[in-house]
Chain A
Amino acid sequence: EAGVAQSPRYKIIEKRQSVAFWCNPISGHATLYWYQQILGQGPKLLIQFQNNGVVDDSQLPKDRFSAERLKGVDSTLKIQPAKLEDSAVYLCASSSASGGAETQYFGPGTRLLVL
Protein backbone atom coordinates (compact mmCIF):
# COMPACT_ATOMS: atom_id res chain seq x y z
CA GLU A 1 0.00 0.00 0.00
CA ALA A 2 1.12 3.56 -0.63
CA GLY A 3 2.51 5.34 2.40
CA VAL A 4 1.74 8.76 3.82
CA ALA A 5 2.56 11.49 1.30
CA GLN A 6 3.68 15.00 2.18
CA SER A 7 4.58 18.06 0.16
CA PRO A 8 6.63 20.07 -0.20
CA ARG A 9 9.70 18.25 1.12
CA TYR A 10 11.61 21.47 1.78
CA LYS A 11 10.59 25.08 2.23
CA ILE A 12 12.59 28.21 2.97
CA ILE A 13 10.72 31.40 3.86
CA GLU A 14 11.38 34.66 5.63
CA LYS A 15 9.88 35.46 8.99
CA ARG A 16 6.37 36.92 8.88
CA GLN A 17 5.63 35.06 5.64
CA SER A 18 2.99 32.35 5.34
CA VAL A 19 3.50 28.70 4.49
CA ALA A 20 1.28 25.67 3.99
CA PHE A 21 1.99 21.97 4.12
CA TRP A 22 -0.07 19.18 2.61
CA CYS A 23 -0.57 15.59 3.75
CA ASN A 24 -2.29 12.62 2.17
CA PRO A 25 -2.71 9.74 4.64
CA ILE A 26 -2.81 6.04 3.94
CA SER A 27 -6.09 5.14 2.26
CA GLY A 28 -8.74 4.21 4.79
CA HIS A 29 -6.93 5.63 7.81
CA ALA A 30 -9.38 7.60 9.89
CA THR A 31 -6.87 9.32 12.15
CA LEU A 32 -4.35 11.90 11.01
CA TYR A 33 -1.64 13.60 13.08
CA TRP A 34 0.62 16.59 12.57
CA TYR A 35 3.85 16.70 14.53
CA GLN A 36 6.55 19.34 14.87
CA GLN A 37 10.10 18.08 15.30
CA ILE A 38 12.65 20.70 16.24
CA LEU A 39 16.30 19.77 15.70
CA GLY A 40 17.58 17.59 18.53
CA GLN A 41 14.13 16.85 19.92
CA GLY A 42 11.51 14.17 19.49
CA PRO A 43 8.29 14.78 17.55
CA LYS A 44 5.68 16.85 19.36
CA LEU A 45 2.01 16.45 18.50
CA LEU A 46 0.41 19.63 17.17
CA ILE A 47 -3.01 18.35 16.18
CA GLN A 48 -4.89 15.06 15.81
CA PHE A 49 -7.91 14.54 13.57
CA GLN A 50 -10.40 11.69 13.71
CA ASN A 51 -12.01 11.75 10.26
CA ASN A 52 -12.55 15.50 9.82
CA GLY A 53 -13.01 16.33 13.50
CA VAL A 54 -10.30 17.59 15.86
CA VAL A 55 -9.46 15.21 18.73
CA ASP A 56 -6.54 17.09 20.28
CA ASP A 57 -5.08 20.48 19.41
CA SER A 58 -3.88 21.40 22.86
CA GLN A 59 -0.30 22.06 21.70
CA LEU A 60 -1.15 23.91 18.51
CA PRO A 61 -0.17 27.62 18.69
CA LYS A 62 -3.53 28.78 17.48
CA ASP A 63 -2.53 32.41 17.07
CA ARG A 64 -0.42 31.46 14.06
CA PHE A 65 -1.02 27.79 13.22
CA SER A 66 -4.14 26.35 11.66
CA ALA A 67 -5.02 22.96 10.23
CA GLU A 68 -7.92 21.46 8.43
CA ARG A 69 -8.94 18.08 7.13
CA LEU A 70 -11.75 18.55 4.70
CA LYS A 71 -13.72 15.45 3.72
CA GLY A 72 -11.74 13.42 6.24
CA VAL A 73 -8.89 12.59 3.88
CA ASP A 74 -6.17 15.11 2.96
CA SER A 75 -5.02 17.71 5.43
CA THR A 76 -3.23 21.04 5.31
CA LEU A 77 -1.25 22.74 8.05
CA LYS A 78 -0.68 26.48 7.75
CA ILE A 79 1.58 28.90 9.57
CA GLN A 80 0.79 32.59 9.33
CA PRO A 81 2.92 34.54 10.10
CA ALA A 82 6.01 32.37 10.54
CA LYS A 83 8.59 32.99 13.25
CA LEU A 84 12.22 31.95 13.42
CA GLU A 85 11.39 29.35 16.07
CA ASP A 86 9.04 27.57 13.64
CA SER A 87 12.06 26.16 11.82
CA ALA A 88 11.56 22.40 12.16
CA VAL A 89 10.51 19.25 10.38
CA TYR A 90 6.74 18.89 10.16
CA LEU A 91 5.66 15.27 10.16
CA CYS A 92 2.31 13.91 9.16
CA ALA A 93 1.20 10.47 10.34
CA SER A 94 -1.91 8.38 10.05
CA SER A 95 -3.41 5.38 11.80
CA SER A 96 -6.40 3.18 11.25
CA ALA A 97 -7.96 4.08 14.59
CA SER A 98 -7.77 6.84 17.13
CA GLY A 99 -5.33 7.07 20.00
CA GLY A 100 -1.60 7.05 20.49
CA ALA A 101 -1.62 3.31 21.14
CA GLU A 102 -2.41 2.62 17.50
CA THR A 103 0.53 2.11 15.18
CA GLN A 104 1.21 5.39 13.44
CA TYR A 105 2.62 5.50 9.92
CA PHE A 106 4.74 8.54 9.19
CA GLY A 107 5.33 10.54 6.07
CA PRO A 108 8.77 11.77 4.97
CA GLY A 109 8.26 15.17 6.56
CA THR A 110 8.56 18.76 5.37
CA ARG A 111 11.71 20.57 6.45
CA LEU A 112 10.95 24.25 7.08
CA LEU A 113 13.61 26.92 7.48
CA VAL A 114 12.50 30.37 8.54
CA LEU A 115 15.08 33.12 7.93
Chain B
Amino acid sequence: AQRVTQPEKLLSVFKGAPVELKCNYSYSGSPELFWYVQYSRQRLQLLLRHISRESIKGFTADLNKGETSFHLKKPFAQEEDSAMYYCALSGQGAQKLVFGQGTRLTINP
Protein backbone atom coordinates (compact mmCIF):
# COMPACT_ATOMS: atom_id res chain seq x y z
CA ALA B 1 0.00 0.00 0.00
CA GLN B 2 1.13 3.54 -0.68
CA ARG B 3 1.39 5.92 2.24
CA VAL B 4 2.80 9.43 2.67
CA THR B 5 3.52 10.98 6.05
CA GLN B 6 4.23 14.64 6.71
CA PRO B 7 5.02 14.78 10.42
CA GLU B 8 4.65 18.55 10.82
CA LYS B 9 1.22 20.12 10.40
CA LEU B 10 2.63 23.58 11.05
CA LEU B 11 6.08 25.02 10.46
CA SER B 12 7.12 28.57 11.16
CA VAL B 13 10.51 30.09 10.28
CA PHE B 14 11.91 33.58 9.92
CA LYS B 15 12.63 35.20 6.58
CA GLY B 16 16.13 34.36 5.41
CA ALA B 17 16.37 31.20 7.52
CA PRO B 18 16.67 27.74 5.99
CA VAL B 19 13.51 25.69 5.74
CA GLU B 20 12.96 21.94 5.52
CA LEU B 21 9.57 20.28 5.14
CA LYS B 22 9.68 16.60 5.94
CA CYS B 23 8.08 13.84 3.93
CA ASN B 24 8.35 10.09 4.50
CA TYR B 25 6.73 7.47 2.36
CA SER B 26 5.90 3.80 2.32
CA TYR B 27 5.89 1.90 -0.97
CA SER B 28 7.38 -1.43 -1.92
CA GLY B 29 8.33 -0.55 -5.50
CA SER B 30 10.02 2.43 -7.16
CA PRO B 31 7.94 5.50 -6.37
CA GLU B 32 7.59 8.81 -8.09
CA LEU B 33 7.50 11.65 -5.58
CA PHE B 34 6.09 15.13 -5.89
CA TRP B 35 5.60 18.31 -3.93
CA TYR B 36 2.39 20.24 -4.57
CA VAL B 37 1.80 23.71 -3.13
CA GLN B 38 -1.28 25.81 -2.46
CA TYR B 39 -0.76 29.54 -1.92
CA SER B 40 -3.46 31.60 -0.24
CA ARG B 41 -6.56 31.86 -2.46
CA GLN B 42 -4.89 29.91 -5.26
CA ARG B 43 -5.27 26.43 -6.66
CA LEU B 44 -3.24 23.44 -5.73
CA GLN B 45 -0.32 23.25 -8.16
CA LEU B 46 2.76 21.17 -8.81
CA LEU B 47 5.94 22.60 -7.28
CA LEU B 48 8.45 19.94 -8.26
CA ARG B 49 8.90 16.25 -8.98
CA HIS B 50 11.89 14.15 -8.07
CA ILE B 51 12.39 12.74 -11.55
CA SER B 52 13.15 16.16 -13.04
CA ARG B 53 15.76 16.97 -10.38
CA GLU B 54 15.27 20.69 -10.86
CA SER B 55 15.08 23.61 -8.46
CA ILE B 56 11.83 25.55 -8.48
CA LYS B 57 11.59 28.90 -6.66
CA GLY B 58 14.79 27.93 -4.86
CA PHE B 59 13.31 24.70 -3.52
CA THR B 60 14.95 21.32 -3.97
CA ALA B 61 14.03 17.83 -2.86
CA ASP B 62 16.14 14.69 -2.94
CA LEU B 63 14.69 11.21 -2.96
CA ASN B 64 16.40 9.09 -0.30
CA LYS B 65 15.34 5.52 -0.90
CA GLY B 66 17.28 4.22 2.10
CA GLU B 67 15.38 6.48 4.49
CA THR B 68 12.22 6.50 2.31
CA SER B 69 12.16 10.28 2.49
CA PHE B 70 11.64 13.18 0.12
CA HIS B 71 12.23 16.29 2.19
CA LEU B 72 11.72 19.74 0.64
CA LYS B 73 14.45 22.29 1.32
CA LYS B 74 15.21 25.91 0.69
CA PRO B 75 18.34 27.64 2.01
CA PHE B 76 16.81 31.10 2.49
CA ALA B 77 13.08 31.38 3.09
CA GLN B 78 11.08 34.27 1.63
CA GLU B 79 7.75 35.63 2.79
CA GLU B 80 6.08 34.55 -0.46
CA ASP B 81 6.91 30.94 0.40
CA SER B 82 4.14 30.95 3.00
CA ALA B 83 1.69 28.32 1.79
CA MET B 84 0.33 24.82 2.30
CA TYR B 85 2.70 22.12 1.02
CA TYR B 86 1.68 18.57 0.16
CA CYS B 87 3.99 15.68 -0.53
CA ALA B 88 2.54 13.09 -2.92
CA LEU B 89 3.50 9.66 -4.23
CA SER B 90 2.61 7.70 -7.32
CA GLY B 91 3.44 4.04 -7.73
CA GLN B 92 4.70 2.37 -10.87
CA GLY B 93 2.44 2.41 -13.88
CA ALA B 94 -0.85 4.25 -14.07
CA GLN B 95 -1.34 4.34 -10.33
CA LYS B 96 -3.11 7.02 -8.40
CA LEU B 97 -1.50 9.94 -6.61
CA VAL B 98 -1.52 9.62 -2.83
CA PHE B 99 -1.12 12.80 -0.80
CA GLY B 100 0.22 13.45 2.67
CA GLN B 101 -1.73 15.52 5.17
CA GLY B 102 0.14 18.68 4.33
CA THR B 103 2.36 21.17 6.17
CA ARG B 104 1.40 24.80 6.56
CA LEU B 105 4.55 26.86 6.22
CA THR B 106 4.58 30.38 7.61
CA ILE B 107 7.50 32.71 6.96
CA ASN B 108 7.75 35.44 9.56
CA PRO B 109 9.22 38.85 8.55
Contact = CB atoms under 8 A, between A and B. Distances in A.
Interface residues of B, number: 24
A44 B98 CA distance: 7
A105 B44 CA distance: 8
A99 B43 CA distance: 20
B90 A100 contact: yes
A90 B90 CA distance: 20
A104 B43 contact: no
Nearest to B51: A101
B44 A106 contact: yes
A98 B44 contact: no
B44 A91 contact: yes
Interface residues of A, number: 24
Contacts, number: 54
Interface stretch (A15-23, A35-43, A61-69): A35-43
A100 B99 CA distance: 11
A3 B91 CA distance: 26
Interface string B13-52: 0000000000000000000100000000001111001010
Which 4 pairs, one residue from A and one from B, show the smallest C-beta to C-beta distance?
A100-B90, A42-B99, A100-B97, A99-B94
Interface of B: 4, 9, 32, 43-46, 49, 51, 86, 88-91, 93-102
Interface of A: 3-4, 40-45, 48, 55-56, 91, 93, 98-101, 103-109
Given A43-B44, A98-B94, A100-B90, 18 more contacts: A3-B43, A42-B4, A42-B86, A42-B100, A43-B86, A43-B99, A44-B99, A99-B95, A100-B88, A100-B89, A100-B96, A100-B97, A100-B98, A104-B46, A105-B45, A106-B45, A108-B43, A109-B43
12 contacts: A41-B101, A42-B100, A42-B101, A43-B86, A43-B99, A45-B98, A48-B96, A98-B94, A99-B95, A100-B89, A101-B51, A106-B45
